Amino acid sequence: MPCERKPMRYGHSEGHTEVCFDDSGKFIVTCGNDGDVRIWEGLDDDDPKFITVGEKAYSLALKNGKLVTASSNNTVQIHTFPDGDPDGILTRFTTNATHVVFNSSGSRVAAGSSDFMVKVVEVSDSSQQKTLRGHEAPVLSVTFDPKDDFLASASCDGSVVVWNIEEQSQLISWPVLQKTNDISNAKSLCRLAWQPGTAKFLAVPVETKVHLYERGSWDHVSTLSDDLQTQLINVVAWSPCGQFLAAGSVGGSLTVWDVNSKLCVERQKHEKGFTVCSLAWHPSGSQIVYTDTEGCLGLLDGLSTSTSNTNTTKQAPAKKAAKDYDDLFDDDDDDRLMDEGLSETNSPVKKPITGDDDDDDDDFLMPATGRVRNRGAILDDENSLDTGSLKLGQDKFGDDDDTGSVVVPAAAPLVPMRPVYEGPMPTAPQKAFQPGSTPAHLTHRFMMWNSVGIVRGYNDEQDNAIDVEFHDTAVHHAMHLTNSLGHTMADLSQEAVLLACPSTDELASKLQCLHFSSWDTNKEWMVDLPEGEDVRALCLGQGWAAVATSALMLRLFSIGGIQREIFSLPGNVVCMVGHGEQLLIVYHRAPGFDGEQALGVQLLQFGRKKRQLINGEPLPLSLQSHLSWLGFTAEGTPCYVDSVGVVRMLNRSLGNTWTPVCNTRETCKSKSDHYWVVGIHENPQQLRCIPCKGSRYPPTLPRPAVAILPFKLPLCQTSTEKGQMEEQFWRSVLFHNHFSFLSSSGYEIDEDGQSQTQKEQQELLMKMFALSCKLEREFRCVELAELMTQNVVTLAIRYASRSRRMALAQRLSEIALEKANQIQEEEPEEQEEEPEYSGVRRTSGYGQSEVTGERRSNRRDREEEEEQAEELREEEEDGQEMETEEAAETTKRVNPFAKEAVSSVTPSLTPIGKVGRANPFKVLGSGKPSSSSGLPRVTNILDNMTSSRKSSPLSRSAGIPSKGPVLKPLAPRPKTKTQSTLLQMNGTKAASKKTPENTQPAADQQKQPEVPPPASPADNTENNRPKTGFQFWLEENRKSITADQPDLEETDIIKEAMGRFRTLSAEERLSWTERAKGQTGDAADLKKRKRAGGGAENDNGQVEADENSSKKKKSLDPSSKLSAFAFNKN
């Protein structure tokens, strides 16, 4: 049963309203909270007659030219109809009457009141009153028995009572309602209705159902219900024929049942879901008029109930055949009730008048478009089945004696199909809008406010004009245009102003472009859109303009007015923005449900390589919100704001996901305050918006000032230091994605800014690292280190080792290694591309070392030999065959590294060419000096390479303390030596800086096998003792130690030096050891020397004790390091 739902119109001010038809059905009569009774000549009557009956009118009844109203002065009065002259007062109550009704003949009026009484008054003689007492709460509603014997009333005490009017006594009472203390608190108005004509049933709305009580027996004979009906029924009304019952609910749904079949034949929904508080049938039965608590009046037209009640049997087959296709589409409407929308599909255009009182939120209404047809086609089969079966079903129930067994099976399974829909309800799709504009219904509005300027529209009595103003007057001077075409949309760029108007009856939708940057004299062009196509959204980019139209079309124009590409959009456009060569379109992907909008987004890039970056992915919005702003940051990253105030930004580095970067509502003081976003900048991070006190949109006057909000990622626990830093870091990462985007799309980028931000990020990481260290979260530290760049990792390693976290430092060194490898893998590619560059780097890397490299080369060779010898000697001291073997193996293994890459960052790189290696060294070398303080670095990257190597640090840690006595006699000598290395006299800082750099060339030079140890080994080994790495180090650094602490004794110097040496990183120490090895020339002499060394060691008991203590801890690898510290403490 298709019916057309007419759009709602404003009737009365907010509050309870009532409606009825006059006897002829010519007028609709309403009353409302404003105390007026309005007489409408149909729904479209723009100038209804009105009768003022009091301050408020609670209820009205109309019959035989008499209008009875219950008004706020506690009376029930009569006015003549349609003249509206007062015709006396019928009765009075101690408080206001709540409901008045006529009996069927119009001779009597019944009125229920809040003073618990029901009065029945003769219209002709108001002195003849009958008072029905017995309710214990305000009376909700009253209704006459059409045969005038009884009267039914419902009350807030929860009872529905049938009275015998003559005897003024209660006949029966059903406690079916919820108890309340006042009408205003009652959940439902519980308007009763007695079936006209036969007077067989009394309909009582009970919660979501309607109970039917049979007259006479007063039995509850049946219940009308609808699965879709989930809200309390407020009011019921019988059709004049008595076969149909209409009900209006608190939630705004309107339902019509066929009482005989108990089937729901019509379902409609109030377009805004307001409470239906009154409804009335047209005397012909073809229309239902209803009002809501917001004072609006609506109408359902085209109800075919009166015809269908008797002759459906005859009509159905004939009609069905003839109107098969019509039915399909007609019923389409019904079906969409379930699967698409109870909403506005039947209300083609909304009256502007209704837009007055509702906010921006709910006037998003889109005229139904082609979408509907598609849906109909899909659901074809179901529809035809449904219509057929329903009519059959009706027939069956229509005549009681017909029990056609043929129809039953067909009807039975299909009947539930229609009403079983209980799922979510669709939301009205959001209207298209221009981001940065205020709503079009305002007389003074911003048509566009963006980073370029402001376009204001004035549309009042005197003036219909557009003002264009530029933030930067250097772009163009301000413009004032008369808006003769009625433009409603505008966009503004550095090049042009784009304006568009919707089509009118005579004129097509027009696009006007003021191309003020044009160098010729023609600064304007205009385009008419094809008939029936309206501009919905428009935007300007650099050198182009885009227009999305109602025909789901996107038209591109060049800025000079040439038509360019055209393509179809997947859905109705919501809004659109352009920036440079990018175009961002948001459209309706599908109907949203339960207050959500289902939006899709497309991001296109023009320019040299035209492509689609985001192809129609869903646009994530906050729950129950709609899009309120869409734009690009000044740097060209898409972002948008939803009505809840959440700003989201595209994260290009995470597969084009959207990250919320700010919630503007968090900074609002009051609930009704909003921020109206006008622009977003990534560098500096600025959210430019206009604070709107108590509104969503700013007024044009006084001129609003832009405020700047900071961004804040909604990370957890941002009140803690950790959370803050995490937030800062990720925000920084997110807001600097545009660098890579810009460079990839061929724009210049601010290199300084980029390096600045990278530095800032790394600093943050380092801070977080330090914090996690403090909190003993070493795993977390490692995770953080993964995010760091390689040179910062080395810093972290130093930090870790200084704070005595050996395990951590070790893990970090692995990471450092990995990172170095990564860089190396990347570099060869780079170098292929730009060999010159790498060449420069390489030379610069060597340049540093050349200063001292030459001078040292000889000595280093000696050192290496000696170191080798020493290591062997140390292992022998241990006296364990196994370990010696292992150590021998180690030395074998270590040596290759020592020769190829002493700085030990690149032990696994052998296959990669020399050129490839050069850079990582450089990186490392530059990283170390950056950690200006001589931070300790104890970890050995080589340690974990293989288990067998573990012994090398072991042996060293054991060996180091043992060198104590050996060093003593050497102490004065190094002094003279250090003089030769003047460059390292700047203190330990300088020394620690230099060592990593210097070792590298040393390594390179050690590769030359022919370098013989000349006279110098003899010098060094004059005591027949091999020199250790430490000794070499001491020689070089003694000066700095003495400089730092001049008053130290010789032994103290050595102790201090040992401490410092130990704080060197493992690879550094290794390199020193290697140098020492290089000095020991012959393997043949080794053993002797070692013995001698061993003997010397034994002389010193104290050191031996230390040695023993360190030996005990040897078994574990990390503990060996710890032992080093244990010693240090001593």
Partner 1 sequence: MDSSEVEFLAEKEMVKIIPNFSLDRIYLIGGDLGPFNPGLPVDVPVWLALNLKQRQKCRIVPPAWMDVEKLEEMRELERKEDTFTPVPSPYYMELTKLLLNYASDNIPKADEIRTLVKDIWDTRIAKLRLSADSFISQLEAHAKLDNLTLMEINTIRAFLLDSLNCMYKLRSNLQPGSSKGQFTDY
| φ, ψ of residue 328 in degrees (nearest 5) | -55, -50
Identify the bridge partners of residue 152 per DSSP, sorted by sequence position: 143, 162
| Amino acid code (one letter) for 909 | L
Q: Is the dihedral of CA 666, 670, 676, 679 positive or negative?
A: negative
Among residues 687 and 1086, whose Cβ is nearest to partner 1?
A: 687
3-state secondary structure of 650: strand
Only one of the segments 87-95, 497-505, 603-611, 699-707 lies at the binding site for partner 1 (rule: CB under 8 A); that segment is: 699-707
Binders in 802-821 for partner 1, by CB under 8 A: none
Cβ neighbours, 10 Å, residue 658: 21
User: 705, 882, 1015, 1084: which one contacts partner 1 (CB under 8 A)?
Assistant: 705
The yes or no reply on residue 471 touching partner 1 (CB under 8 A) is: yes
DSSP assignment of 563-630 equals EEEEEE-SS-EEEEEEETTEEEEEEEEE--BTT--EEEEEEEE-SSS-EEEEEEEEPP--TT--EEEE
In sequence order, what E strands does 32-128 have? 36-40, 49-52, 57-63, 66-71, 75-80, 86-92, 97-102, 108-113, 118-122
Rounded least distance, CB 478 to partner 1, Å? 10
Among residues 566 and 708, whose Cβ is nearest to partner 1?
A: 708
Contact 1094, 877 (CB under 8 A): yes
Only one of the segments 200-208, 216-224, 664-672, 703-711 lies at the binding site for partner 1 (rule: CB under 8 A); that segment is: 703-711
Among residues 358 and 472, whose Cβ is nearest to partner 1?
A: 472
Only one of the segments 312-320, 702-710, 832-840, 980-988 lies at the binding site for partner 1 (rule: CB under 8 A); that segment is: 702-710
Taking only Cα atoms into account, the Rg of the chain, rounded to an integer number of angstroms, comes to 45
User: 83, 358, 472, 666: which one contacts partner 1 (CB under 8 A)?
Assistant: 472
3-state secondary structure of 14: coil
Rounded least distance, CB 695 to partner 1, Å? 18
Among residues 703 and 1091, whose Cβ is nearest to partner 1?
A: 703
Euclidean distance between CA atoms 840 and 914, whole angstroms: 14
Euclidean distance between CA atoms 599 and 588, whole angstroms: 5
Only one of the segments 20-28, 112-120, 464-472, 915-923 lies at the binding site for partner 1 (rule: CB under 8 A); that segment is: 464-472
The yes or no reply on residue 358 touching partner 1 (CB under 8 A) is: no
Only one of the segments 332-340, 698-706, 901-909, 1026-1034 lies at the binding site for partner 1 (rule: CB under 8 A); that segment is: 698-706
User: 417, 481, 613, 706: which one contacts partner 1 (CB under 8 A)?
Assistant: 706
User: 470, 741, 1061, 1127: which one contacts partner 1 (CB under 8 A)?
Assistant: 470
Rounded least distance, CB 705 to partner 1, Å? 6
Binders in 850-869 for partner 1, by CB under 8 A: none
Among residues 235 and 540, whose Cβ is nearest to partner 1?
A: 540
Euclidean distance between CA atoms 296 and 965, whole angstroms: 104
Euclidean distance between CA atoms 310 and 287, whole angstroms: 18
User: 318, 321, 406, 474: which one contacts partner 1 (CB under 8 A)?
Assistant: 474
Among residues 474 and 882, whose Cβ is nearest to partner 1?
A: 474
User: 16, 515, 688, 950: which one contacts partner 1 (CB under 8 A)?
Assistant: 688
For partner 1, how many residues bind (rule: CB under 8 A)? Answer: 15
Euclidean distance between CA atoms 400 and 403, whole angstroms: 8
The yes or no reply on residue 632 touching partner 1 (CB under 8 A) is: no
Rounded least distance, CB 706 to partner 1, Å? 6
Rounded least distance, CB 437 to partner 1, Å? 16
Euclidean distance between CA atoms 459 and 419, whole angstroms: 48
Among residues 436 and 916, whose Cβ is nearest to partner 1?
A: 436
Euclidean distance between CA atoms 1129 and 480, whole angstroms: 82
Rounded least distance, CB 687 to partner 1, Å? 12
Cβ neighbours, 10 Å, residue 1128: 13
The yes or no reply on residue 453 touching partner 1 (CB under 8 A) is: yes
Rounded least distance, CB 681 to partner 1, Å? 9
Buried b / exposed e over 123-151, threshold 16 CB at 10 Å, is beebeeebebebbebbbbbbbbbbebebb
| φ, ψ of residue 130 in degrees (nearest 5) | -120, 130
Sheet order of strands, 36-40 included: 18-21, 28-31, 36-40, 49-52
The yes or no reply on residue 1033 touching partner 1 (CB under 8 A) is: no
DSSP assignment of 122-137 equals ESS-TT-EEEE---SS
Only one of the segments 77-85, 469-477, 613-621, 647-655 lies at the binding site for partner 1 (rule: CB under 8 A); that segment is: 469-477
The tokens describing 66, both together, are: 């008499």
Question: What do you get for the CA distance between the two ends of the chain, in Å?
Answer: 99
The yes or no reply on residue 438 touching partner 1 (CB under 8 A) is: no
Among residues 490 and 793, whose Cβ is nearest to partner 1?
A: 490
Q: What is the widest separation between alpha-carbon atoms in the chain?
A: 143
Among residues 349 and 474, whose Cβ is nearest to partner 1?
A: 474
User: 80, 310, 473, 946: which one contacts partner 1 (CB under 8 A)?
Assistant: 473
Matching residue, tokens 């002797």: 1088
Residues in the chain: 1130
Rounded least distance, CB 448 to partner 1, Å? 13
The yes or no reply on residue 708 touching partner 1 (CB under 8 A) is: yes
The yes or no reply on residue 451 touching partner 1 (CB under 8 A) is: yes
Among residues 492 and 781, whose Cβ is nearest to partner 1?
A: 492
The yes or no reply on residue 753 touching partner 1 (CB under 8 A) is: no
Binders in 522-581 for partner 1, by CB under 8 A: none
Rounded least distance, CB 654 to partner 1, Å? 30
| Amino acid code (one letter) for 804 | R
Residue 814 DSSP symbol: H
Rounded least distance, CB 847 to partner 1, Å? 36
Rounded least distance, CB 453 to partner 1, Å? 8
Euclidean distance between CA atoms 165 and 131, whole angstroms: 9
| φ, ψ of residue 651 in degrees (nearest 5) | -105, 100
Only one of the segments 433-441, 697-705, 859-867, 1104-1112 lies at the binding site for partner 1 (rule: CB under 8 A); that segment is: 697-705
Among residues 441 and 480, whose Cβ is nearest to partner 1?
A: 480
Rounded least distance, CB 680 to partner 1, Å? 12
Among residues 492 and 576, whose Cβ is nearest to partner 1?
A: 492
Q: How far is CA 110 from CA 22, 102, 238, in A?
A: 18, 6, 18
Q: Which residues bind partner 1 (CB under 8 A)?
A: 451, 453, 470-474, 686, 688, 702-703, 705-708
